[in-house]
Structure 1
Amino acid sequence: MSLEAFSDEALLALAARGEEAALKELFRRYAGAFLGLARRMGLDAASREDVVQEAFSKIWQKAREFDPRRASARAWLLAIAHHTTVDHLRRLEARPKPLEPEEEAEAFDLPGVGLDEEGHLNRIRLAQALKRLSPEEREVIEVLFYQGYAHQEAALRLGLPLGTLKTRARRALARLKEELREA
């Protein structure tokens, strides 16, 4: 039986009953989005794959907890991926750091104009652009994108109304884009 026509909610209900094929279909639909989320949150390729595997393991274990009255299946799945990525980042932060810091100057030797081999902006340009933002804009960017908090969590953490946080985030991202274009 093909599960392609089933809704995400129906697939979660089947996964809750132990149907592995339903989990495979959810994996087919969402693994790419989970990988993209982990990439945007700064994980390397190996860590991204670990996070996706861990997220789907959690989905398999917690499928019975899904309640379609509280959230859509998509929101629930992406929340698990987000929380799994944040947990992974926190575990990485807790690891001891090497005694000798890496030299940031080497990043200037990357090929291309401010780009590394994968086409990502190099960290030094990004750090310089972040320094040119206002403290409020920088704080919002750090909490949302570097610490990995969801908008509601970030609003609570910063003591801001959700709408204010979202407005600052939009402005901060627009300014950051402008700063990176000029750099």
Structure 2
Amino acid sequence: MSFEAFSDEALLALVAKGEEAALQQLFRRYAGAFLGLARRMGLDSSTREDVVQEVFSKVWKNAPDFDPRRASARAWLLAVAHHTTVDFVRRLEARPRPLEPSEDEPEAFDLPGPGLDEERHLDRIRLRQALARLAPEEREVIEVLFYQGYAHQEAAVKLNIPLGTLKTRARRALSRLKEELREA
């Protein structure tokens, strides 16, 4: 049976019932995005592969916990990937790389990779454009929290601002991003 036409939510429901082929389809859709996330967070290529393996191990184990009323399957999968990657970064005591690509790989993280379709690629472009429209201090908070993987307290120390200020900026930035993306 081919699962290509199934929604992510349907695939997660099948994974929760032990359907390995559904997990393979999710892997084809998301492995490239998860590798890119791990790369942006400063992990080397072999560690990135370990991260992706760990993410899908957690998806397999925790799929029964997915509740489509609380989040989309895509959001749930990306959250699992983000938390797993942050755990790896902390375990290795590595410090993440900045959001901007290095000069030898310009715009590399905006290219569609394995498992990514054109629509998701366009979503990433819209997100990057919306981030660029944020106030510099708001963008900096989003980068440190979500792209570099720092916890709130660590981010406040890194940015040398009070924790309350960091949380206010993050909340304001996320609200603005939501509005910007709704209009796009």
Same fold per TM (> 0.5)?
A: yes
TM-superposed deviation, 1:2: 0.7
Identify the residue that residue 173 of structure 1 maps to in structure 2.
none
In the alignment, is the contact (CA less than 8 A) between 1:41 and 1:148 conserved in 2? no
User: Percent identity of the aligned residues?
Assistant: 65
Q: Deviations over 1:120-176 (max 9, x none)?
A: 69xxxxxxxxxxxxx9569624334333459xx99878231544234899xxxxxxx
- Residue 40 of structure 1 and its aligned partner are, at CA, apart by 1.3
- Checking the alignment, whether the CA contact within 8 Å between 1:137 and 1:168 is kept in structure 2 is no
1:160 to 155, 168, 171: 168
Q: Which residue number in structure 1 is paired with residue 72 of structure 2? A: 72
TM-score, normalised to structure 1, is 0.61
Q: How far did residue 43 of structure 1 move?
A: 1.1
* Aligned AA (1:67): D
C-alpha distance in 2 between matches for 1:43 and 1:2: 33
Partner in structure 2 of residue 145 of structure 1: 147
Task: Measure how far apart 1:19 and its partner are.
Answer: 0.5
2:2 aligned counterpart, secondary structure = coil
Unaligned runs of 5+ in 2: 95-101, 108-135, 157-162, 178-184
**Cα distance in 1, alignment partners of residues 47 and 164 from structure 2:** 28
Q: Relative to 1, partners in 2 of residues 1:162 and 1:58: Cα closer, same or farther, differing over 3 Å?
A: same
Equivalent-residue separation in structure 1 for 2:164 and 2:65 (angstroms): 25
Counterparts in 2 of 1:69 and 1:48: CA distance versus 1, 3 Å: same
Change (3 A) 1:72 1:149: farther
Structure-to-structure mapping, 1:88-167, within 5 angstroms: 88-93=88-93, 115-116=103-104, 119=105, 136=137, 140=141, 141-148=143-150, 158-160=166-168, 162-166=170-174
CA–CA distance in structure 1, aligned partners of residues 164 and 10 of structure 2? 33
1:36 correspondence with 2:44: no
**AA in 2 matched with 1:164:** R
Count of matched residue pairs: 134
**Could you say which structure has the larger radius of gyration?**
1
State the secondary structure of the residue aligned to 2:18: coil
- What per-residue deviation string (whole Å, max 9, x for no partner) do you get for residues 88-112 of structure 1? 0111118xxxxxxxxxxxxxxxxxx
Q: 1:147 to 1:7 in 2, by over 3 A?
A: closer
Higher relative contact order (CA 8 A, sep 6+): 2
